Amino acid sequence: MHRTLNVLIAIVGIYFFFLILIYVFQRQLTYLPSPAVSTPEQAGVPEMEIVELHTADGLTLNAWYRSPTRPFKPTIVFFHGNAGHIGNRGLIARPFLDTGYGFLLVTYRGYSGNPGSPSEEGLYNDGRAAIKFLEQKNTPLSCIVLYGNSIGTAVAVQLATEYPVAALVLQSSLTSLTDVARYHYRIFTFETLVKDKFASIDKVANLDLPIFLLHGEDDRIIPPKLSRRIYEKIKEPKQLLIVPSRGHNTLFEPEAVIQFIQEHVKCQQSDS
C-alpha cells in the first residue's frame, strides 16, 4: 500500500512538472521563428519589394509587397504559419503575382530578422500594421483579401472582425490554440494554461464576408476536423475544400483560391 502511494505521488509530481514546463516554455513551443534574412530575388519573386510596416507598439517590420499589375485585381495579404521565415513563402505568392494580383507577404515580429518577440496580441498588431500600410497605398478595404495559413488564420480572422475586407481565405485553420494543444497532448488540461489562445471559433460566427477554407485530409499538425468546425459556424457565402493526400506542409491550391476570389470579390478600384 505504501509503495503504491509513493508511485501515485511520483506520477502526480511528474504530471505537474510537465504542466509547469509547458506553461513556462509554451511560447518557445508555439512560435518557431527562423532569423534567416532572405530577399525576394532569392525566393523567386524578384518583382516584389521590401517594405516597412509600422506597428502601434513601435516596431518596424520588413514585409514584401507588389501592387496589382492588372486593373481591378484585389491585393492579397498573406499571414504565414508559426515556423520558418518570409523566404519560405515566395512560391506561395508566385501564382497570384503571375495572374495580376497584388500581394503583401507579412512576416511577424521575431521572424526573418524582424525585431520583437511573437505573441498573440503582437501578431494582431503586425496584421493591423499591414492593413495600415495598404490604406496608405490608397487600397480600398473592398479590394483586400486576407489569406491566413495555420496560426496565420487566427490573425486573418481577428483582422476580419476589425476591418470590412473583401474576403477571407483560411488554409489549415485552427479553432483555437487550446484545441490544437489538446489534440497533441491529450492527457493535459490546457484551458487555463494557454497564454495565447487564438480562439477563432469564438469570432467567426459574426463575420459577414465570403470565406474559403481549405485543409489537407492528411494533416497531422492541425486536424481537418477543426476547419470543419469553423465551416459549421460561419455564414454564407462559404466554401470548404478538404484535399486528399495532402498534409499540413504539402497543401497548396492556388487555382482553387483564385477561383473563389474571382467568384466573390468585385474590386471596384485598382491599386496605384
pLDDT, one tens digit per residue, over 204-219 is: 999 999 999 999 999 9
Q: What is the widest separation between alpha-carbon atoms in the chain?
A: 79
Q: Which of 38, 196, 248, 270 is catalytic?
A: 248
- Confidence band of 185 (pLDDT split at 50, 70, 90): confident
Point out the least confidently predicted range of 18-22, 42-46, 172-176, 181-185: 18-22
Q: Residue 140 has what pLDDT?
A: 97
Residue 167 pLDDT > 90, yes or no?
yes
| Residue among 126, 179, 196, 219 flagged as catalytic | 219
Q: What is the CA radius of gyration of the chain?
A: 20
The helix/strand/coil state of 226 is helix
Residue 164 within a domain: yes
Inter-residue contact 43 to 120 (CB < 8 Å): no
Q: Which of 38, 112, 150, 173 is catalytic?
A: 150
Q: Given this model, what pLDDT does residue 269 score? A: 61
Q: Does the residue 19 lie in any domain?
A: no
Contacts of 17 (CB under 8 A, 6+ apart): none
Q: Is residue 14 in a domain? A: no
Residue 189 pLDDT class (50, 70, 90 cuts): low
Greater confidence, 78 or 186? Answer: 78
For the chain, what percent of residues have pLDDT higher than 70? 85
Q: Are strands 102-106 and 60-66 parallel, antiparallel or unpaired?
A: antiparallel
Q: Collapsing DSSP states into helix, strand and coil, what is residue 94? A: helix
pLDDT tens string 7-52: 566 555 555 445 555 555 465 567 888 888 899 999 999 999 999 9
User: Whole-model pTM?
Assistant: 0.89
The pLDDT tens digits of the residues spanning 101-142 come to 999 999 999 999 999 999 999 999 999 999 999 999 999 999
Considering the domain boundaries, does residue 16 fall inside one?
Answer: no
> Total structural domains in the chain?
1
Rounded average pLDDT over 137-166:
98
How does pLDDT run across 55-97, given as a tens digit for each residue?
999 999 999 999 999 999 999 999 999 999 999 999 999 999 9
CB atoms inside a 10 Å sphere around CB 175: 23
SS3 at position 253? coil
Closest CA to 135 of 124, 144, 125, 122: 144
End-to-end CA distance of the chain: 78
CATH number for 86:
3.40.50.1820
**Residue 248: active-site member:** yes
Q: Is residue 11 part of a domain?
A: no
**Is 150 considered catalytic here?**
yes
Confidence of residue 271 (pLDDT cuts 50, 70, 90): very low
Residue 83 domain-assigned (yes or no):
yes
Supply the range of the domain harboring residue 155.
31-264
Identify the pLDDT of residue 149.
98
> Is 7 contained in some domain?
no
Annotated active-site residue 271? The verdict is no
For residues 153 and 212, is the Cβ–Cβ distance under 8 A? no
Instruction: Identify the pLDDT of residue 272.
Output: 43
Q: Which of 24-28, 231-235, 251-255 has the lowest mean pLDDT?
A: 24-28
Give mean pLDDT, residues 194-199. Answer: 84
How would residue 183 be classed by pLDDT, with cut points 50, 70 and 90? Answer: confident
